[in-house]
Structure 1
Amino acid sequence: MFKPAEGPVRLPSGQRYLGLDLGSKTIGLALSDTGHRIASPYQTLARKKFSADAAELQRIVAKEGVAALVLGLPVNMDGTEGPRCQATRAFARNISQLMPLPIALWDERMSTMAVQRMMTDEADLSRARRAELVDKLAASYILQSYLDWVGGQPT
């Protein structure tokens, strides 16, 4: 049975984390560098059936040397978990049966809002361009906050 990582998932240098921002229609992806300092937007997958999504993720994991997944957990602002958290936990449970990688669930509160604000206020991107970028940028925001946390944890 799937059990999310309790503490920080530490990878040896040379391996990568893949961050996921799971939406109902898309999955935003971000990839860490091999030194675990920088998260970069990778791509946005249009959601299909779980088997097709999982096959594409397996291809990316193999191609990019990914050794751990970081899934954004959409906790409510009051700290409770709703249906979206349940869906994320179910996705993690199902993907763990196909890929024996450590999976960390990371509180993603405010990530999409922060990315939207940055794209509107600072980058002045059009609505169409924001829609195209928001998921992979949110995944990058989630993964970067996780990398910053792991880097600050005692070994």
Structure 2
Amino acid sequence: MRYGVRLGVDPGDARIGVARCDPSGMIATPVETVRRGKGDLRRIGQLVAAEEAVEVVVGLPRSLSGGEGPAAAKVRELAARLARRIAPVPVRLVDERLSTVSAEAMLRDQRKGQKRRAVIDQAAAVVILQHALDTERATGRPPGELVPMGEPAGDAVPTRQTEETDD
């Protein structure tokens, strides 16, 4: 098992759930829910820097048969932009089938409404990251597929000396 904090990301149309694991990669825990839109990738980049993450695992929505539809295409595009932003920190796509269903089942009788949805997004990110950690521990290989970093974009993670850009 590789050592270091990893972030798990559950991208949705309105919100992005974020989770983290401990440096030994044993347990995933919720971090926050990021509102989707302007500044969302910047915020995830800030979390990567703050947590000193060695990798980001993004949930890829597949159909039950394993195929990919429009939602998967949107996640692949977001993952590619995130990979450019946080380079050289690697981004991996992992199958997230039923992660939201699992998260909802875990939280069924808890909060209602908007707060519940935000917590479900974080819980789904926990499910995605925990599955990735368990897979790596069982196989000895990094989970999922590595997202090519491409050329660093002008929206790379800002350092304290540079001005932040929105994305």
| Shorter-normalised TM range | 0.7 to 0.9
Q: Report the 3-state secondary structure (helix = DSSP H, G, I; strand = E; otherwise coil) of the residue aligned with 1:45.
A: strand
Is 2:102 aligned against 1:117? no
Gaps in structure 2 of 5+ consecutive residues: 142-167
Looking at structure 2, the residues matched to 126 and 69 of structure 1 have their Cα atoms a distance apart, in angstroms, of 28
Residue 139 of structure 2 aligns with an amino acid whose one-letter code is: Q
Query: 2:17 aligned to 1, 24, 28, which one?
Result: 28
Residues 1-155 of structure 1 correspond to what in structure 2 (within 5 A)? 11=2, 13=3, 15-49=4-38, 52-100=39-87, 101-120=89-108, 124-128=109-113, 129-154=115-140
- Runs of 4+ in structure 1 deviating by more than 6 angstroms, as ranges, are none
Q: CA deviation at 1:132?
A: 3.1
Looking at structure 1, the residues matched to 140 and 100 of structure 2 have their Cα atoms a distance apart, in angstroms, of 29
Looking at structure 1, the residues matched to 9 and 40 of structure 2 have their Cα atoms a distance apart, in angstroms, of 12
Give the TM-score normalised by structure 1. Answer: 0.84
> Do 1:25 and 1:47's aligned partners in 2 also have CA atoms closer than 8 Å?
yes
Looking at structure 2, the residues matched to 37 and 82 of structure 1 have their Cα atoms a distance apart, in angstroms, of 32
> Do 2:10 and 2:59's aligned partners in 1 also have CA atoms closer than 8 Å?
yes
Looking at structure 2, the residues matched to 126 and 139 of structure 1 have their Cα atoms a distance apart, in angstroms, of 18
Percent sequence identity over aligned pairs: 33
Output one character per residue of 1:42-95: Cα deviation in whole Å (capped at 9) or x when no partner: 10011122xx11211111111111110100000011211001100111111111
Q: How many pairs does the alignment contain? A: 139
Q: CA deviation at 1:130?
A: 2.5
Give the TM-score normalised by structure 2. Answer: 0.78
> Do 1:71 and 1:106's aligned partners in 2 also have CA atoms closer than 8 Å?
yes
> Do 1:17 and 1:32's aligned partners in 2 also have CA atoms closer than 8 Å?
yes
